[in-house]
Chains A and B, each alone.
Chain A
Amino acid sequence: MTKMKLPSKLYVAIVLLFLYLPIFMLIVLSFNSANSTSVMQGFSIKWYIELFRDEATLTALYNTLLLAVTSSITATAIGTLASVGIFKMKKGVVKSSIMSVTNIPMMNPEIVTGVSMMLLFVFIGSFLGINGVLGFWTLFIAHVTFCIPYVILNVMPKLRQTDAHLAEAAQDLGCTPAKAFIKVVLPSILPGVIAGLIMSFTLSLDDFIISYFVSGPKFQTLPIRIFSMTKKRVTPDMYALSAIMFVVILVLLILVNVFQKNDEDKKGGARR
């Protein structure tokens, strides 16, 4: 392709500056020696030490990871199975209505999704006479619900690319349908499944709006903890936290990219 011209370079630089200015500010100020979130005075890592001493933040971090791991795995399992099932269905009212319902959590404003699920949980809670239904399980259900569409979105195209006759051939050669699926279909859709899993994991990790409505005081996730802290004056340990998150996300994204690259290279190599 053509080389970037100077005005183009300048434009890209300005937009990137706009996107990264707040993030860099957060990272720089996380090393501030003073208790200020806007004026840099000297270098120190005391806020990082402070962060790891804060019991509530650490618990929230643990909760977030627990929730992200369990809900992304569940969503990936349900979503992958669903893709296989929906893919087999013939075009028609049933298939298109299932697809429309599947897309609702992606299309609906997050606040409406959060509110609607909260109403369901509160309604069931009051029906069963339980006080404080909102907790891990309501968060888990909500996260699985909004992750499933993204798994299907990633797995469906891979199913379309796979040769349907391969599974049939495997069965003709004596595989049971389940074995044919695991041995033949699954490996060919695996990149989509993994992409769906990683996407679900990051979505769950980062979700605030939906979690905010379906969580209770007993089980706080990190974004909710951050929310309650930004209500007051924030101390730089929150900045330290965001700096750590930035590095983790960077590593995750690079890993995903490398993974996809390898996959593409393999495919490109096989075809040529």
Chain B
Amino acid sequence: MNKKQAFKQKLCASPHIVWSAIFVVVPLIMVLYYAITDRTGAFTTDNITRLSDYVTPFLRSLWFGIVATIICLIIAYPLAYIIAHSKAKVQSTMVILVMIPMWMNFLLRTYAWMTLLEDSGVINTILGKIGIGPFHMINTSGAVILGMVYNFLPYMILPIYTVMTKMDKNLVEAAHDLGANKFRVIKDVVFPLTRSGVISGITMVFVPSVSTFYISQKLGGGSFALIGDIIEMQFQVSNNFNFGAALSLVLMILILICMAVMNRFGDAEKAGGVGV
């Protein structure tokens, strides 16, 4: 193949390059531009200094995001292990079953939990018939975290499941043969081999959890405003685009830092772990 043809083929990427430049890169520059200007377009640092009033929702978002991610990991890891070790037919059915809720409208899923958790909702009605309760569940921080876990759990299960199916099962057998007990096999063999799936699962749950809005509005009753809710408010209610941009900018940087720490942790561990 000659150079001219190779060049022509590379040219196929140009619509995408132009498109991404205009609709991915320029919008991010816009966020920065709006964050450091005021309504008239003049330079200001007011938006940045005003951020200090919102430390609490930032910290709350981080905290809820971390808790939801850990719960998802604890639920998903054994499940992925069980699915990956079952028959091929069962595996594909299970994967579909895990995926279906992901494609259900996220608003309706969250709304459904609202009707389930309400004081006079489905769960309390059923419990009342047995003679227990009623429990107050809606409008608590637990309900918000439950909403996050429910909505993003499949994003944790699927990547972990994928690496588990690719894992060389002979290594597990070898460890057993060499006298390791079940716990040690999981800690020293299975876990290091599935680390990449765990890391992508964590990112796929943590990023939407930290930046979510709506969940806390519906399940938290407005008393647990997260950073996503405050950004939404700036754009849809108070029409303060400049401050909204500053909040988005910080959210983006915060998540980038978290992911960099995560990846570093992953790489460092990999270097010391089993060479794959």
Hey, which bits of chain A sit against chain B, CB under 8 A? 1-4, 8, 11-12, 15-16, 18-23, 25-26, 37-39, 78-79, 81-82, 84-86, 88-89, 98, 101-102, 104-105, 107-113, 115-120, 122-123, 141-142, 144-145, 148, 152, 168, 171, 177, 202, 206, 208-209, 212-213, 222-223, 226-227, 230, 234, 238-239, 241-242, 245-246, 249-250, 252-254, 257, 261
Contact = CB atoms under 8 A, between A and B. Distances in A.
B45 interface: no
Nearest to A151: B16
Given A101-B24, A253-B99, A115 B9 contact: no
Interface string B1-12: 100011011111
7 contacts: A19-B153, A38-B118, A82-B16, A86-B13, A116-B248, A119-B245, A152-B16
Contacts of A98: 13, 17, 20
Given A1-B85, A253-B99, A26 B112 contact: yes
A171 B118 CA distance: 67
A48 to B, nearest CB: 16
Contact of B232 (A19, A111, A171): A111
Contacts of B245: 115, 119
Nearest to A5: B82
Contact of A119 (B31, B79, B122): B31
A65 to B, nearest CB: 15
Contact of A81 (B15, B23, B112): B15
B86 A1 contact: yes
B107 interface: yes
A242 B213 CA distance: 21
Contact of B211 (A111, A213, A223, A227): A111
B108 A249 contact: no
A208 B101 contact: no
Contacts of B244: 115
B92 A257 contact: yes
A144 B235 contact: no
Contacts of B16: 78-79, 81-82, 85-86, 102, 148, 152
Contact of A115 (B83, B87, B210, B235): B235
A263 to B, nearest CB: 14
Contact of B24 (A8, A104, A242): A104
B94 A12 contact: yes
Given A88-B9, A111-B211, A148 B241 contact: no
B97 to A, nearest CB: 6
A81 B97 contact: no
Interface centre among A3, A22, A25 (most CB of B within 10 A): A22
Contact of A116 (B14, B20, B28, B99): B28
Interface in B153-211: 153-154, 203, 207-208, 210-211
A212 B235 CA distance: 10
B96 to A, nearest CB: 6
Interface of B: 1, 5-6, 8-17, 19-21, 23-28, 30-31, 34, 75, 78-79, 82-83, 85-88, 90, 92, 94, 96-101, 103-109, 111-113, 115-116, 118, 120-122, 125, 150, 153-154, 203, 207-208, 210-214, 218, 228, 231-232, 235-236, 241, 244-245, 248, 251-252, 255, 259
B105 A226 contact: yes
B31 A115 contact: yes
Closest 4 CB pairs of A and B: A85-B13, A82-B16, A109-B211, A22-B112
A247 to B, nearest CB: 11
A230 B115 contact: no
A23 B101 contact: yes
A171 B99 CA distance: 42
Contacts of B31: 112, 115-116, 119
Contacts of A171: 1
Nearest to B6: A88
B211 A85 contact: no
Nearest to B96: A253
A220 to B, nearest CB: 14
Contact of A253 (B13, B103, B113, B255): B103
Contact of A25 (B11, B21, B96, B115): B115
A253 B1 contact: no
Contact of B105 (A111, A152, A245): A245
Contacts of A15: 75, 79, 153
B10 A242 contact: no
B82 A85 contact: no
Contact of B104 (A144, A145, A246, A254): A246
Nearest to A167: B1
Contact of B106 (A206, A234, A257): A206
A242 B27 contact: no
Given A78-B15, A111-B213, A242 B82 contact: no
Given A1-B87, A123-B30, A25 B112 contact: yes
Contacts of A122: 241
B111 A85 contact: no
